[in-house]
Structure 1
Amino acid sequence: MTSHQTTQTMKPATAAKKLGVYLEATPAEFQEGVVSRTELNALQADPPEWLRDLRRDGPHPRPVVATKLGVSIAGLARGGITDPLTTEQIEALKKESPEWLQRERATQAEVRKEAVRIKEKKAERAEQTERPRS
């Protein structure tokens, strides 16, 4: 009995998400085909010019925009940002620093601080339960 391995493929939207790029900005041949795991790995290891350009200049998908601005995706929506942005637009927003962006950054900082506090508390509890009682 011989086993044959099938090639794992994904939709272009999934591949674009894994590559951190906005699907609609990718070349037509990327959008219309399927991407194998091997092709995805090759794109990540040695990105073609179009991929390097997209990663550098955008337009960027919302998760990337949120990360670059230091806010959550929900924070983007609360700020009225629902469309992909270019790097230039992101830099302009940072420079402008509207009130909503300052508020969302502060919120995100609090969320991170709380996550660290919870992680430390869990580690402390785990350490206490591992200690032998005398």
Structure 2
Amino acid sequence: MTSHQNTQTMKPATAAKKLGVYLEATPAEFQEGVVSRSELTALQADPPEWLQELRRNGPHPRPVVAAKLGISISGLARGGVTDALTTKEIEALKTDSPEWLQKERATQAEVRKEAARIKDKKTEKDQKTEQ
């Protein structure tokens, strides 16, 4: 008896998230279909022009916008940014550097510093335990 391996598929929203692109900006055929794991792998390995263009110029989804600005997604919301932004809009925000963005970047820097401190403390504790 042979086993049949079903092709795993995902919704377009899941595939867009994995590709780091804004679903509403993708082509209609991408939005309306399902994406198999092999298709996703092919898109990641050899992105078509539309995918390269979206990654380069946007509009970008909020997680990508937050990463490009060096802040959290919550920080975006606190700053009033609720929509996808293009690369030009992100660069303009960086250039203008509004007060809320400076504050969120400082907050994010503190969060990273604290995470590093905790990690170092845990490593130190683990080393003492091994001795």
Instruction: Confirm or deny a common fold (TM above 0.5).
Output: yes
Q: Which residue of 2 aligns with 1:34?
A: 34
Deviations 1:76-99 (A, max 9, x none): 000000000000000000000000
- The alignment partner of 1:54 has SS state of helix
Note the C-alpha offset of 1:72: 0.1
| TM-score normalised by the chain length of structure 1 | 0.97
Deviations 1:93-130 (A, max 9, x none): 00000000000000000000000000000011111111
* Structure 1 unaligned residues grouped into runs of 5+: none
Q: Which residue of 2 aligns with 1:45?
A: 45
For the aligned residues, what is the CA RMSD?
0.4
Q: Which residue of 1 aligns with 2:67?
A: 67
Deviations 1:11-70 (A, max 9, x none): 000000000000000000000000000000000000000000000000000000000000
Letter in 2 for 1:79: G
Letter in 1 for 2:41: N
| TM-score normalised by the chain length of structure 2 | 0.99
Q: Which residue of 2 aligns with 1:55?
A: 55
Instruction: Give me the whole-angstrom Cα distance separating, in 1, the residues matched to 2:4 and 2:49.
Output: 34
Instruction: Give me the whole-angstrom Cα distance separating, in 1, the residues matched to 2:109 and 2:39.
Output: 37
Note the C-alpha offset of 1:4: 1.1
Q: Which residue of 2 aligns with 1:107?
A: 107
Residue 118 of structure 1 pairs with residue 118 of structure 2: yes
Letter in 2 for 1:72: S
Query: How many residues get paired?
Result: 131
Give 1 or 2 for the bigger CA radius of gyration: 1
* Structure 2 unaligned residues grouped into runs of 5+: none
Q: Which residue of 1 aligns with 2:3?
A: 3
Provide runs of 4+ in structure 1 moved above 2 Å.
none
- The alignment partner of 2:84 has SS state of coil
Residue 129 of structure 1 pairs with residue 120 of structure 2: no
